[in-house]
Amino acid sequence: MSDEEISAVSREVPNVAQRSTSNTATVIDIGGSSGNTSCKMCHNGCIKSHFSCFGVFCAIVCFPLGLLCLFCTKEYRCTSCGACV
């Protein structure tokens, strides 16, 4: 190879030392074990669970089977905007 061919190839293929690399990491939040995840509507508040009035009523009147109704009728609401999730 001539000097011209070598210089042409060196211009086309950058040197490994010349390549710019960035060290970035992608973090994916899948929700912790505490169950507090961010709101999908406002992206600001946390999601908290509350028992519904109907569930509490069934738990008292139809004890012990009403406890099943109590836990099945949980409501999940945002602490910031109050949206049901």
Q: Flag whether 15 is in a domain.
A: yes
Compute the distance between CA of residue 51 and CA of residue 72 in angstroms, rounded to an integer.
Answer: 9
Whether the model pTM is above 0.85: no
Q: Flag whether 22 is in a domain.
A: yes
Number of domains in the chain: 1
pLDDT digits (tens, 9 = 90+) for 27-55: 665 544 455 577 787 878 888 888 888 88
- Residues spanned by the domain of 67: 3-78
- Give the angle subtended at the CA of 16 by the CAs of 14 and 21, to the nearest 5°: 100
- Averaged pLDDT score across all residues of the chain: 74
Q: Flag whether 8 is in a domain.
A: yes
Q: Flag whether 85 is in a domain.
A: no
